Structure 1
Amino acid sequence: MAELAELYPGFEAHNIDTPAGRIFVRTGGEGRPLLLVHGFPQTGVMWHRVAPALAKTHRVIIPDLPGYGWSAAPEPGKDHAPYSKRAMGEALVAMMEHLGHAHFAIVGHDRGARASYRLALDNVGRVDRLALLDIAPTVSTWHAIDRSRALKSYHWSFLAQPHPFPETMIGKDPLYFLDWTLASWSGPKNLSVFDPRAIAHYRAAFSSPDHIRAACEDYRAGATIDLAHDEADLAAGRVMECPVLVLWGDHGSVSTGPLESWRPFAPRLQGAPIHSGHYMCEEAPEAVLAALKGFLG
């Protein structure tokens, strides 16, 4: 860790014990609390191009999710529950309470957005505002998979295969898998949109076997317990009561526009595309900041 570039000058680093184990978190800025939650296959480093601007108006909290980055990887469970988005949400709530924040806004990207909307559904009244970046709900994603979607989102089924198959395949050359994933989901289909210092962080974090397994467990939970939680909420009519902003890359993973899929969960919904691939906070940080500024206030 000491050999990696510091991309958050002026931010403080913490290690906080939660029900999911130790979480590594960076904090900076002053104002209303704003939680930024990264996705796969990245870490909290992915916010480095937008966090300094957000820290001018907010107290910014940037964790590494359980099993990612410098956070501990929980022991896998038979039902994948330790990596459910409900468990991740509970860990984030415990972390925020430890830092003194009972209510807060959230911006989540990719898997972090899934943990974020689950947190909002499970904790009505705790989340002030929620921004979800480049995802559709887990339930609508699984139910909509056809030939085109399966080819585009092959990792959903590959990473969800039983242990140890995907871990073994990725473990043969984890940096190849990581670089391929980062490049293929970006707008230009290469690594040019990423700061090389950020890529060094992603590579260091993704190289350990326990974190490779954690990423697979994340997707196994997505195919099972997370899907069941979404289906139960749909059947019960549970919604997120806070305002919800959905942003998606016009060359991202949900480029057709996900607003209709979010309406059953988010009655106070708004959204717009960003000219970007999947990694919009690194590809189009100014556009993301402009959209968040109007939403977060």
Structure 2
Amino acid sequence: MPTTPPSPASESAPSVLDGLRFAFGTLTVLPVRVSRWDREAARGGMLGAPLVGLAVGGCAAGLGAAALFLGSGPLLAAVASTAVPAVLTRGLHLDGLADTADGLGSGKPAEDALRIMKQSDIGPFGVLTLVLVLLAQVAALDRLYDASWARGAVAAVTAAVAGRLALTLAARSGVPAARPEGLGAAVAGVVPVRWALAVAAAALCGAGAAGALLGPYDAGRAALAVLLAPAAAELLLRRCTRRFGGITGDVFGGLAETATTTALVTFCLGG
């Protein structure tokens, strides 16, 4: 993960592969060689973030379905699906969520709150937030896997995509960085708004199509999940930009987990 902002220019235009390397290299622990850190590569990486979600969600759904077929029951399948994204990100998004909760809950000025977020320990606000979010994710997947393995799998993939879509939208033009260094500074404002909306529209259509494999009602719930998840993340984003003066890598983690959880809960609405 980069610790300094990308350089403003580079010798050659980045390729699609450069953007995907940036996305997978910064958002997962997969052994991807990231050779470019300029803003053009960062833009491609943030535009490709939902594809990272597709890969992570596919792994989560695969393990959950496999556990279910082996007779583990829906609860253990839900735990397995929840564990996969944490492992593939080395818990960075969960850590970011906890740090963001500690910063917001500290009640201190922005500079002090950012300092609290950089500390290695987790405070009470962070612990409570982690517990509630993980419980919500496991409870939602348990219910969905109990209905059918396919519904749980579609929800796991859709939620992972929605979680990374929130990052694409958070990297849009006009959203500042809270610090001059770190992942937040690397990707802040790199995505034109119209491009971010185009990616969101593609994710919405993809989720609706995946849900349609289970029936029209599930198509509607999948589409609603992709609408509500970024909306919930947007509320957190606005709170953080007001509170901290911009985004950080920790805030990005908090946005991803907030959107993921919202999407899973949305799949459970209506029974």
What's the TM-score once normalised by structure 1's chain length? 0.28
Q: Which has the higher strand share?
A: 1
Q: Which has the higher helix share?
A: 2
Greater relative CO (CA pairs within 8 A, separation 6+): 2
